[in-house]
Amino acid sequence: MKTKKRYKRGYPVAILIGLEEHQAVLWKIFSQVVKPQKTLTIDGTRSNPKALYNFHESIINDLRPTLKEGVRSIIIASPARSNYTQEFSNHVHQHHTWLTQGPNKASFSEITGNASSHPQVAALTRTNEFHELISQTTSEETENLIDLLEKRLNTSNRRDAVLFSLEEAENLILKRQKPGRPKPEYLLLTDRYLADSRAKNRLHRLMQIAQNKKVKTRVINAKSAAGQRLTQLGGIICLARLD
């Protein structure tokens, strides 16, 4: 019973940030539910540059744990006729280029609306616009991951390894590795592979342990371009790298 309850929320998909005048509410979007993550308040007013800077920094700091899990799709919601999203985007581009450049960059999208309470988020996530935005944002993110995969497939660098089966991924992630062996970095699989697997208990256990061990774990839409490429390779991939 506990195992079923653990996976009732599904797998992580994206982060939703609801920006308001005096606060920001962070939500974690799973495939089946949306869970509140943190509410942050500004210590002062938006007209105070230092207060606004510190407020934006607190948002970035609270994004870091989820980003390290491999979830790099971020949707920002703010009320109509406000410039809250633009202010935050400017902060990211000026002070956190690691979020906008490089192989581990995040994918940002914005939507007009309020996302500070459960009813507001429920209403927002029911809209077609939101679902299209989720699809678009996660597609951009997973394309970055597939670019990384293709580079690993076409390199002769012995520091990198690509594993193509559940058994190989289990052997790498679940077992203690000897010094000098590549360490798991990413676990990528399609939603179709997850749904059709005859070894769901093993797969869910692997995903949970991978997340506990800070292995970036992403479930990718099988219908997307990235998902189709992953399907060609068997539906599940584990990327490893020697530190």
Q: Residue 2 has what pLDDT?
A: 45
For 134-161, b/e burial (b = at least 16 CB within 10 A) is beebbbbbbbbbbebbeebeeeeeeebb
Asked whether residue 7 carries a pLDDT value surpassing 70, the answer given is no
Ordered alpha helix ranges (H), 38-127:
49-68, 84-95, 118-125
| pTM score above 0.85 | no
- The full 3-state SS of 96-117, as one line of letters, equals CHHHCCCCCCCEEEEEECCCCC
pLDDT tens, 10-47?
Answer: 788 999 999 999 999 999 999 889 999 999 999 999 99
CATH architecture under which domain 155-241 falls? 2-Layer Sandwich (3.30)
| CATH-assigned architecture of domain 2-141 | 2-Layer Sandwich (3.30)
Candidates 66, 43, 38; CA nearest to 55 is 43
| 160 pLDDT more than 60 | yes
CB-CB contact of 238 with 163 (8 Å): yes
Sketch the domain layout of the chain as residue ranges. Answer: 2-141, 155-241
The answer to whether the CB of 227 falls within 8 A of the CB of 193 is no
User: Could you check whether 2-141 and 155-241 share the same CATH topology?
Assistant: no
pLDDT at residue 5, rounded to an integer: 45
- Residue 52: what pLDDT? 97
Best CA proximity match to 37, nearest among 118, 113, 110: 118
pLDDT tens digits, one per residue of 113-148: 999 999 999 999 999 999 999 988 888 888 888 888
Residues in the chain: 243
| 66-120 pLDDT, tens digit each | 998 888 899 999 999 999 999 999 999 999 999 998 767 899 999 999 999 999 9
